[in-house]
Amino acid sequence: MRAPQAVGRMALVTALTVTLTGCASVASPPTPSTPAGPDPAVHLSPTTAPSSTTTTQPPLPVIPVQWAPCGSLQCGSVTAPLDYADPAAATVQIAVARAPAGVPSERIGSLVINPGGPGGSGIDDLPNELSALTSDVRARFDIVSFDPRGVERSSPVTCTSGSGAGSSGQLIDPVPTTPAAQLALLSNDQAFAKQCEQGSGSLLAHVGTVDTARDLDRMRAALGDAQLTFIGHSYGTLLGATYAELFPTHVRAMVLDGAIDPALTTDQYVIDQAVSFEAGLQSFFAWCAATGCPWRPTGDPTTALLDLIQRSRAQPLSGSGGGTAGPGELYNALLAGLGSRSSWPSLAGALAGSQAGNGSAATSMSGRYQSGGSSNGAQAEQAIDCLDHPVDRQPSSYPVLAAQAGNSAPVFGPLLAWGLLGCATWPALPTRTPAPASDPGAPPILVVGTTGDPVTPYTWAVDLARELNGGVLLSWQGQSHVASFYSPCVRAAAQAYLVAGTLPTPGATCTD
């Protein structure tokens, strides 16, 4: 998942587009080893709970997707109710794109992919996803992705103004260490919430994962599929699990990779994820020490990193274009660099430059991270997270939570805890309650977990597989987020399941 930033600081950390490193080739894969439309005139009030998604109103008819060329893909849209409790009222348009099956005579159906986020554009990411699929999967399925409601092309969440930057273009400090800094962060979040409410109106109450799962079922029907074949990465695993609970008999097959445990409370989520990021950071430190990377701190590297962040707080670093870099840029660079081992050299260079007083590389990494995988990634992610994850709405609680999280994860604990503050002031209330996954009547679902995943802890995959009615866990011994992008073994196992329904032996492990 992704992380708190400046204005539009996300409540939680989620993964979006994953950088591919040698994933295009899928020949001779190893075999798993077996162990033992917004209405700005509508004002949203946080004192009013969202309406139920059950209704006696007649349903909105599903119309087959009308495809048209769009570059190398085909594009279309699916109409969905803004509010599923009132389907005859306003609607939203869900943008979809597909790469048709390479061998039409052997076509099985559609394979719908959500790359994560929330807030990421599945359409923008679709070429990346195609590169990580085996040739047989691409031959047998129309590969489909979409921009979820609130994202980019699909009735996007819109915030009227604000970048979270100060006069020098520097991001606001996401880990306030003084009462004045805490007040500044709270004021920043309140202003951003107001901007989003003004720009998005009634849409803000209807962009949560429960509504998106219902959109996904309309999409399945509009694609002409009797059942859904689905791949979800990171946040997409929460979407998949939600769909399986709402529509268990509509599931054909699901691969959930980089899993989120839907049973976690938001506080548990933050602590678990902070600890996982901290473990990823220690792996990065060990790699740096073993390879002689350019960042060579004296003494304990965690202490040195925290000292660097504190120095940037007291004296901002010089950045590109005459700007400056502070804690916000450094934290974003860390989050951007730890998601994949292939990004470690860039992170090392950014830290080395920052240590020398030059924050240009950190600023560049931060900017790429902050874009959020879509044109409105920061706004959409905040809006979706705040509906999906109930938080304490008392701002005075956050210094205590940050201190508790810091005891478990000194670098990332306070960052992720303070990141929840944006949802404490959000104008729309949550629409999802944490609970174990429940999919009675669904077929077996393949859950993939990476033992050293720095973003979604491996234990979440273990727990999700256990909670699902027929969940089967496949493990990958790696240190990057979302195994399918890095492991030919995992891709081969997913292919066997998606094409023929053949699952790996429960508890199987890929070691490539």
Active site residues: 234, 453, 481
426 phi, psi to nearest 5 deg: -75, 140
- Where on the phi/psi map is residue 452: left (φ > 0), alpha (ψ -120 to 50), or beta? alpha
d(CA 121, CA 115): 8
* Whether the Cβ atoms of residue 451 and residue 458 lie closer than 8 Å to each other: yes
Pure H helices in 88-246: 122-131, 135-140, 179-200, 209-222, 235-246
User: CB-side exposure of 49: number of CA atoms within 13 Å?
Assistant: 7
User: Which positions ≥6 away from 146 have C-beta within 8 Å?
Assistant: 78, 94, 95, 96, 97, 112, 114, 122, 123, 154, 219
Of 186, 110, 117, nearest in space to 157 by CA: 117
Beta carbons within 10 angstroms of residue 314's beta carbon: 7
**Hey, is 211 helix, strand or coil?**
helix
d(CA 130, CA 118): 20
Of 448, 109, 138, 129, nearest in space to 252 by CA: 109
d(CA 286, CA 453): 16
Long-range contacts of 351-356 (CB under 8 A, 24+ apart): 351/295, 351/305, 351/308, 352/293, 352/294, 352/295, 352/296, 354/308, 354/312, 354/317, 354/325, 354/330, 355/295, 355/297, 355/308
Peptide bond into 118 cis (omega under 30): yes
d(CA 137, CA 463): 28
Q: C-alpha 505: how far from its chain's center?
A: 28
d(CA 301, CA 283): 11
Instruction: Dihedral sign for Cα 218, 220, 225, 228, please.
Output: negative
282 phi, psi to nearest 5 deg: -65, -35
Q: How far is CA 478 from CA 34, 282, 322, 340, 488, in A?
A: 16, 14, 39, 10, 12
User: Which positions ≥6 away from 226 have C-beta within 8 Å?
Assistant: 252
Of 502, 496, 504, nearest in space to 476 by CA: 504
